[in-house]
Every structure is written in structure tokens, then in C-alpha cells.
Amino acid sequence: MKTVSKSWIYKNLKSFNNNKSRVGSIVKSIIKDIERNGDKALLKYVKKFENSKAQIKDIVFSKKQLANAYQSLSLKDKRALKLAHQRIYFYHLKQIRKSYSFRDQEDSKFHIQWNPIENVGLYVPGGMASYPSTVLMTSIPAKIAKVPNVMMCVPSQNGKTSTLTLAAAHLSGVDKVFNVGGAQAIAAYAFGTKTIQKADKVFGPGNQFVAEAKKQLFGTIGIDLPAGPSEVLVIANNKSNPSWVALDILAQAEHDINAKTYVVSRSRDILQKIKNEIAVKLKNLPLQNVKHSIGNNCFLIHAKNEKEIYEISNFIAPEHLHIHSKFNKSLLKNIIHAGSVFVGEKAPVALGDYTIGTNHVLPTDQTARFSSGLSVDDFVKKTVFIEAGNKTLKKIAQPTIDLARQEGLEAHALSVEIRKIKT
């Protein structure tokens, strides 16, 4: 945990991947193996990393297994999953794209058609913990987009797969669930095997090996985001509750040993109080992730004024931004780079992880400067149909011919010119 300045952050903010070369080479070899050997290689890695007794048939969960997982839940867990599903569904339902048509003044006609991606592969982490919330966050927008085939890969730990995760897959209607994780799961989606169908695009967070596989395979398969370790930046003021801020920071640090956490404030006094509270509460948390993350990647940043607070926040472009003050319209103008923004002390980031309704698959490692969180938009694509007639050609044929010849593309020019002559 360090108290630093704006200049220090600008100079020292580092990429999440400190083992790029080592991880990259391991992932590259796994990808090649899956591409060449399919199920044989897939089973090899499942036995090595997840379940030494696994057979290829064990990789596929049946619909009955998913249904049984849901039925085995306690009433309390069922209610929690249903509430989360309901709220996530409601929020994402507002994002549906509608096809439309229009014509311009020269009678050119345009038809914009939105279609779902046909085959998507979801990745849900599961080696160290259970993440049924990620199942809901990825599958619900896919189903709203009407994706015909929604597949999911989830790793097991010592041959055991989270019942909650399987139950969430049942509740949200995932079509096929495979018990496999890591870079090998992403490679299987990219190339297809006898057991796992080739996907058109893959979605969901994972460890550094999963993230690296997505990066290496982009182009062979579409990807959602180049996701890295989780991040939160809290903007605190002298009225902020230090205990609440401390828990907001520690909650994010729980995710990953490499999770990055920041507190920015104009008040040195509140920064010190928050630092003290973090140290006290840290002693009572069981996960070692938290201690490692706080020790190496927690930064308390003193800003000179409000303008500098926004500059620091936009530079970091955090996955989660939590502003400990009431909403005002100036925030819409001043905050331009962030995955999701939580406003007010009563809106902790944990609500966004589970039940507020917004998506928790968000851009990290400064990628919020050019990308957004997961939405229904990511599961659809648009195709444009163009009609042109005599009126259109009369208006734009000659400029098209002129521009084509300026670029030295004579066949382009002639393909328009021949139609102009015949018109």
C-alpha cells in the first residue's frame, strides 16, 4: 500500500501482465496442440490441470445434470440467482437493436439488418472459486440477442465443478456446457474439436493464460475484451466514511493477487484514515489474494484539486470507478474513461458484480479508453443492404469514377462507367 502523487502514477502505471513472455510461450504451445490433436489434446490438459480421472465423455454436462444442480440448491440460493437473473435481464433488455430502412435524397435505399452471432463460447472461471454471476452476465445478453447456440466452458477443481455455476447455466438457458478451462478451452472454441463445436466469438473473463489465449487467437475467433486483473478506483472526500472505502478497496482486492486498487482524494487526512482502516480490516480477511494485492497494487493518491482528480481517473481508466459523493451532471462531462461508474456511498461495486443489473464483464488495464463493458451489442452484428437506381447514378457516378482513377483503380472506374453509359 503506497501513498503517491499524480506524477508517480503517470510514470509507473504498469500493464497487468508481468510474465508476458513465459505465459505467451506456454499458451502458444497449448494452442498448437489443440489445433493439431483436438479432443486428444483437450483431454490431456483436463487430466493435467483439473481431473486426473477424466474421460472425454465427462467433459460434456447433460441437460439433466444442469437441471439437477439447480434443483439441489437451497431456497435462499435459488432466490438469489433468480433475483440476479431478473435484474440483469431487465437492464440488458433495453439494449435490443432494431433493424431499419431509409432512403436518401437521390433515392438510394439502405436496409440495416441486425442479426445475432450464430455460435458463441462463454468462459466462466472456476479453478479457484465459483462464479455463477459470470454465467448470468455473459449468457443473458446472448439469449436476449437470440444467439442460436450458446456454449459455456468452466474448469473444475480436483474434478469438482461448482453446483451454483451449473445451476446458473440451467436458469439462463445455456445450450451446451463443457467441463474444461484454461487456454485449451479458448483454443477448442477457436478451432473446434469433435466434442466442442467451433465458436464464432468467445466471451468472459479468465486468468492470464485465458487472456493470453484470447489475444493470440483474435482473428481466428472474435473476442469480447482483452481482460486482465480486476481494478477499482475510489474518489473520496473529507466526508467519506473511511471504513466503507476500506471495504470497497478490499472487496476488489479479493478477486485476484494482481488486482489493482486506487483511492484518490484532495484530503490527506481521509487518505490516512482509509489507509489505517484497510490495515485493520485486512487482518480479518481469510483470502491470501487480498494481502498480496493490497501489499503490491494498492495506491492512495493525493490530488491537488478537483480537476486533477478527474485527470488521474481518466488516465487510469479504471474497470470500476466509485465516486463517494452525490450524482451531479458535471460527472457526465468530467468522467470519460471508465468501465462502470458507481455514484454515492450507497452504491458499492459489489452490487454491480451481482444484482444491480449492469454487466460486470468490463474493460481493464486502461482499455476503457477505447472500449465498453459487455452488452447485447457484443452478440449481434449488422449487415447493410444497398439499393441504387438511375437517380443515384446520375448524381454520384462521375465523382465515383473520378475518385477511382485518382487512386489508380481503373476497373473500379469502369465498373461504374459502364452502368452510367447504359443508364
Per-residue pLDDT of 202-240, as tens digits, reads: 999 988 899 999 999 999 999 998 777 899 999 999 999
Q: Are residues 308 and 413 in the same domain?
A: no
Q: Domain end: 173, 203, 223, which one?
A: 223
Q: Are residues 54 and 187 in the same domain?
A: yes
Classify residue 364: in a domain, yes or no: no
User: Between 265 and 128, where is the model more confident?
Assistant: 265
Q: Domain end: 181, 198, 223, which one?
A: 223
Q: How confident is residue 342, by pLDDT bands cut at 50, 70 and 90?
A: very high
Judge whether 204 and 138 are in contact, CB under 8 Å.
yes
Instruction: Choose the catalytic residue: 85, 170, 320, 322.
Output: 320
Q: Are residues 8 and 35 in the same domain?
A: no
5 vs 300: CA distance, rounded Å: 8
- The number of C-alpha atoms within 13 Å of 201 and in the hemisphere containing its C-beta is 21
Average pLDDT, integer, range 53-57? 91
| 319 among known catalytic residues | yes
Looking at every residue in the chain, the average pLDDT score rounds to: 93
Q: Sign of dihedral through CA atoms 254, 371, 214, 194? A: positive
Q: What's the confidence (pLDDT) of residue 19?
A: 47
Q: Are residues 82 and 150 in the same domain?
A: yes
Classify residue 77: in a domain, yes or no: yes
Q: Are residues 234 and 155 in the same domain?
A: no
| Residue 320 predicted with pLDDT over 80 | yes
Q: How confident is residue 20, by pLDDT bands cut at 50, 70 and 90?
A: low
Q: Which residues contact 384 (CB under 8 A, 6 or more apart)?
A: 110, 111, 112, 113
Average pLDDT, integer, range 32-54? 94
Q: What's the confidence (pLDDT) of residue 5?
A: 84
Domain span at 273: 2-13+229-356
| Residue 16 predicted with pLDDT over 60 | no
User: Between 289 and 188, where is the model more confident?
Assistant: 188
| Residue 321 predicted with pLDDT over 70 | yes
Q: Are residues 200 and 233 in the same domain?
A: no
| 50 among known catalytic residues | no
Percent of the chain predicted with pLDDT > 90:
80
Average pLDDT, integer, range 171-181? 97
Q: Are residues 264 and 332 in the same domain?
A: yes
Q: Are residues 341 and 403 in the same domain?
A: no
In this structure, the chain runs to a length of: 423
Q: Please write the tens of the pLDDT for every residue from 98-125.
A: 999 999 998 899 999 999 999 999 999 9
Average pLDDT, integer, range 294-299? 92
Neighbours of 292 (CB within 10 A): 15
Q: What's the confidence (pLDDT) of residue 96?
A: 96
Q: What's the confidence (pLDDT) of residue 291?
A: 87
Asked which of 20-34, 131-145, 285-299 is least confident by mean pLDDT, the reply is 285-299
Q: Domain end: 223, 247, 279, which one?
A: 223
Q: How many domains does the chain have?
A: 3
User: Between 369 and 14, where is the model more confident?
Assistant: 369
Q: What's the confidence (pLDDT) of residue 38?
A: 97
Q: What's the confidence (pLDDT) of residue 404?
A: 98
Q: How confident is residue 289, by pLDDT bands cut at 50, 70 and 90?
A: confident
Q: How confident is residue 314, by pLDDT bands cut at 50, 70 and 90?
A: very high
Q: How confident is residue 423, by pLDDT bands cut at 50, 70 and 90?
A: low
Q: Are residues 325 and 399 in the same domain?
A: no
Q: Are residues 169 and 284 in the same domain?
A: no
Q: Are residues 214 and 149 in the same domain?
A: yes
Cell of 363: 474493460
Q: What's the confidence (pLDDT) of residue 208?
A: 87
Classify residue 55: in a domain, yes or no: yes
Classify residue 308: in a domain, yes or no: yes
Q: Which residues contact 34 (CB under 8 A, 6 or more apart)?
A: 41, 42, 184, 187, 188, 190, 191, 193
CATH code at 263? Answer: 3.40.50.1980
This prediction has a pTM of: 0.92
| Residue 311 predicted with pLDDT over 50 | yes
Average pLDDT, integer, range 264-287? 92
User: Between 18 and 300, where is the model more confident?
Assistant: 300
Q: Sign of dihedral through CA atoms 120, 125, 127, 131? A: negative
56 vs 106: CA distance, rounded Å: 60
Classify residue 196: in a domain, yes or no: yes
Classify residue 365: in a domain, yes or no: no
Q: Are residues 8 and 27 in the same domain?
A: no
Classify residue 381: in a domain, yes or no: no
User: Between 312 and 421, where is the model more confident?
Assistant: 312
Percent of the chain predicted with pLDDT > 70:
97
Average pLDDT, integer, range 37-56? 93
Q: Please write the tens of the pLDDT for every residue from 343-369.
A: 999 999 999 999 999 999 999 999 999
Classify residue 371: in a domain, yes or no: no
Instruction: Choose the catalytic residue: 319, 322, 337, 360.
Output: 319
